Amino acid sequence: MRIQDVAEISSRVLGRKITVGPRPTGMSGASEAPGDGVPAVSRDMAALLEWCETGRYVACTTRQGEVFGIPTAEVAIGRFIASLGHPVHD
């Protein structure tokens, strides 16, 4: 799933347009200057994001599905958006 797919699903769930922009400078793993408004992200998190973006990362959800059932992307994103306090649309 691409970030664009997540944005499109989020748009449907929220009932308003969500667009994808460039990754913030703070996501590069390099420390940002204090007070620039962009929180620095650890090098580990930046490396994880870069790895996921290569398309080589594939989550094996077999066991998770056996235990919890596998929600659709729409359901999972809707739950996440609702957890942030946003009203969601069916």
**Per-residue pLDDT tens over the stretch 15-64:** 999 998 887 665 554 444 555 554 556 777 777 788 878 877 767 778 77
Could you report how far apart the first and last alpha carbons of the chain are, in Å? Answer: 21
pTM for this model (two decimals) = 0.46
The band of 72, judged by pLDDT with boundaries at 50, 70 and 90, is confident
Six-digit token string for 30: 């390099």
The reported pLDDT for the residue numbered 15 is 93
Higher pLDDT, 55 or 82: 82
Asked whether 53 and 45 are in contact (CB, 8 A), the reply is no
